[in-house]
Amino acid sequence: MGFVSKVQVIQRGEKNRQFYFICPAPLAQALEIEKGEEIEWVVEDKQRLTIRRLAFTQKARRPSHGK
């Protein structure tokens, strides 16, 4: 299953731009991503971008509600 999101750009001044890639909430939840986590962006080729966690500690699984 894939998640689609759009690239957002913030333009500050004439030359300073920042690009934002939004991680959809269901994907972040499935990966147990938390605020402040650091990730590394790896360019595989012009069609493929990989993100990798720099540090990941496995936490106790949260109980699912009613399942």
Q: Say yes or no to pLDDT of 28 above 60.
A: yes
pLDDT at 58: 59
Q: Say yes or no to pLDDT of 43 above 50.
A: yes
Whether residue 12 contacts residue 4, with contact meaning beta carbons closer than 8 Å, is answered with no
pTM for this entry: 0.61
Number of domains forming the structure of the chain? 1
Q: Mean pLDDT throughout 3-26?
A: 90
Domain that holds residue 23: 7-53
Q: Say yes or no to pLDDT of 8 above 70.
A: yes
pLDDT at 59: 56
Name the DSSP class of 4: -
In a domain, 60, yes or no: no
In a domain, 21, yes or no: yes
In a domain, 43, yes or no: yes
Handedness of CA 4, 9, 56, 45 (dihedral sign): positive
In whole numbers, what is the pLDDT of the chain averaged over residues? 84
